Structure formats: structure tokens, C-alpha cells
Amino acid sequence: MKKVRPYPQAVISQKAARALKAGHPWVFEGEVKAILPSPADGREGVNGDMVDLVEENGTWQGAGLVSMASKIRVRLVSRNANDRFDEGFWHRRLQWAWQHRKVTMGARALPGCEPDTNCCRVVFSEADGLPGLIVDRYEDVLVAQVGTVGMERLKGTLLPLLVHVLREDGQEIRGVYERNDSPARAKDGLPLQKGWFDLSGTDLSLPTPESARVMVRENGIAFDLDVENSQKTGFFLDQKYNRRAVRQIAGGRRVLDCFCHVGPFGLNAAAGGAGFVRCVDVSQTAIDLARENARINRLDANMGFTCANVLEYLPQLAHDRQLLRDEGGPFDLIVLDPPAFTKSRGTVQHAIKGYREINEAAMHLLPRGGYLATCSCSHFMTRDLLARAISEAAHAANVQLKQVEERQQAPDHPILWGVPETHYLDFFIFQVV
């Protein structure tokens, strides 16, 4: 590089440089050999700073945000040496993120229903060039998760800018709620916190909303969400089109929705004309919310709700025919949407066993010609590992599977090639033959 840049420099190893050239945006703690002062003014790098990434021979590889307490020491933001990280730069990034949602989801709404962009992930961290920031939209409320010290320092710029970007496009936003209560923040030395982001002092002059409850619609179905206390940011938006796929095959079927959370798969099945839907979750709070959502949508007449541990519940149904009838069975469509069984490489083998067991239990319950919708939401449980677990389950259950569909997360959670961490959801629909 011939230009003298104003940023401190992180000197990185050859291994890190190769990874960056291959497209991965992370530099790990052991790959940073030194952090040097800015060559322009001698300014020392501090936690959360933008730093240039340079090899020992001086070759520039990009610029990113440094996290002194994290094993992921630098997260790449730009590979363009002409970028200047001012308000205009971040405004463009946010515009590109919103434009992607409009292009990939703007024309896919069900007839007579709300636009699919009314509830969607607007910012997906590295996949949108904003590492450490996640923002979900729920109608007129944004819910933000800030996971890195760099984004913590920038959020005062980014969150008001995002509201501006949406308002410039005619989207009404009344507030931004921060769900910074994930334990992952501790990896960056950040405190846990949640509450409304103060927009009253910005040029937006928005008052703080009184309630964190939001009535939203997805696929034409209403959900009463509590963005303050629900899991993640309030809802699992990544399954939007997978729920629609289940809805399309649910007509006239008796459906068992396992790990139902607040009922989105079950409600989509009911809206698709299912003869009966049983929703099951280990959380009584989730079951109560699912029941209320069914009532709101006037779908409760053909739905039932059970608080139970699915891992125990499915074998019980297989061995107790009276219980199966009491629960609304026999079922000819079963949905398995479990939480991530693994969050590290070290527990993948245990997770494979778990996925194999629940899928085998579901297959024992299904008749020939029945349907199974099953998925995994952990990037450590790769597509091939999940497929292997399902195949082994089918062998153990002595059934053959006819694949109907193979799907992934919705496009508002874009998969960035070269960054396997952004591909975390795999979803299959099979017919048992």
C-alpha cells in the first residue's frame, strides 16, 4: 500500500492472510502477531477500533473491528482500501442490507397477506458486512442484538441510520429495542442489557414506546410477541418459508408439531386446512402463547396443546395407542423443529445421536404415505451430518424416505459463501414409503 492510512495496524500471520483471501472474515487471537500504532499519527489501537490488517511484509488484507477480549480478535469489515468508515459508509451498508430483503422477499407474499418484509431479519452480521450486529424487524419495531465491542461503540450511529434508511423507503418504525442479553456478549467483555434504544435525542425525535409487545403477521397469521422476554429477538424468522412449505401439504392431515415454541408451524398447518393439529413444547409459557395465538387467529377449534418433553413424548405415543388417540392421532404429518442440539464441535457426536433418535421416533409414528418435516439449526450440525442422522433413523425404523423438498434458512438470513457459520439451518420434507 502506498497511501498512509489513519488506522492502527494488526499484523497477522500467513495462515490468517490465507483465510481472508479465501473469503472468511475472522482473524483469531493467535493469528495476530502485534497491534501497531497508526502510521499516520501514532495513535494506539484500543478495544473496538477499526484496524488495518497487514501481513508481516506489509501487504494490506483489509480493515476490521478489533475485540481485545475475544478469541475472534478482528472481524473484517472491508476489503476495499478506498473505504473511509464515516457515516456515509455505514449508511450505504444498511441500504444494501435493506435492498437485499426487498429484492429477495418483496414479491413473495401470499395473496392478500402482508408484505414478507414486514417481519424479517434486516441485518445479519457478517453476511451483511456488519459483523456483530443483528437486527430483526417486527412490523414497526426493530429488535437489535449487539454482540461485539466494535458494534457496541458504533450502535449510536448505526441504529438511528437504519431507522432513517427504512423511513426513506416509506417504512414506519416507532422504536428500536435492544436484546443485548445473550451470554455470548461476555466473550467480548460486554455487560448484559436490554431495553429501548433512546431515539429521543436524535434527529428522529422518536419517543420511547410504552410496551414491548407487538402484534405481527407472518404468512397472514397473527402473533402476539413480547420482544422483551421471548427467545432470541422474539420469533424465529428464519423458518418463514419452511412454515409455508408445511402449510402447503397440511390440507386434511392430522399434524403433530413438535418443539412448537409459540406455534408458527402448527398455525400454518391449521391455516392450510389440517384436519387437526397437536402442538407440543416443554415450556408451559410457550404452550400458553401458542394457544393464545391460535385463539387470536380463530384456529383453536382444530388444535390441541400439550406441555411435554418431546424426547420422552414421542416414544410414549409409539407405545401407548390410547395416549396417541387422546392426543389426536394417529398423525400423518409430523414436524420436528428442535433447538440446536450442539453449539460446539465437541458435542457434534452427541447431537447426531439426538437427531437420529427423534427422527426415528417420529418415523415409528408415521404410516406409509405420511410426511415428516425435520430440521437442524446449528451450523456445527452440517447438512451432510443431518442427512446421515436421518438416513440412519430411517434404517433403524425400517422405512424408506422419499424426499419432497430440501430447504434452508430464509433469504433474509443470507448464506455468505466462504463463511460456513452463516449457513446454520437445514430443513427437509420427506414422505415415508
- Give the span between the Cα atoms of 433 and 420, in whole angstroms: 33
Using the predicted structure, report yes or no on whether residue 91 has a pLDDT greater than 80: yes
Structure confidence by residue, pLDDT tens digits, 317-355: 999 999 999 999 999 999 999 988 877 778 888 889 999
Query: Each residue of 359-374: pLDDT tens digit?
Result: 999 999 999 999 999 9
Alpha-carbon distance 378 to 371, whole Å? 23
Domains of the chain and any CATH numbers: 9-78 (2.30.130.10), 87-214 (3.30.750.80), 236-432 (3.40.50.150)
**Amino acid present at 391:** S
pLDDT, position 340: 82
Active-site pick, 258, 260, 279, 377 = 377
Helix H or strand E encompassing 383: helix 383-397
The Cα 366–Cα 343 span in angstroms is 30
**3-state secondary structure at position 59:** coil
Rounded to the nearest 5°, which phi and psi values hold at 347?
-110, 15
Pick the closest to residue 74 from 54, 45, 51 (CA basis): 51
The span from the CA of 147 to the CA of 130, in Å, is: 11
Average pLDDT, whole number, for the chain?
Answer: 95
Across residues 71-86, what is the average pLDDT?
96
Amino acid at 47: N
pLDDT given at position 339: 87
Q: Is residue 164's pLDDT more than 90?
A: yes
Residue 375 bears catalytic tag: no
Distance (Å) of CA 34 to CA 29, 52, 364: 10, 12, 58
Q: Scan for cell 408439531, then name that residue.
A: 257
The structure's pTM equals 0.94
* Interval 80-97 mean pLDDT: 96
Confidence of residue 2 (pLDDT cuts 50, 70, 90): low
What's the rounded Cα separation, in Å, for the pair 54 and 32? 10
Determine the Cα–Cα distance for residues 404 and 432; give it in Å rounded to an integer.
10
- Rg of the chain taking only CA atoms, in angstroms: 24
Q: What phi and psi, each to the nearest 5 degrees, are found at residue 425?
A: -120, 125
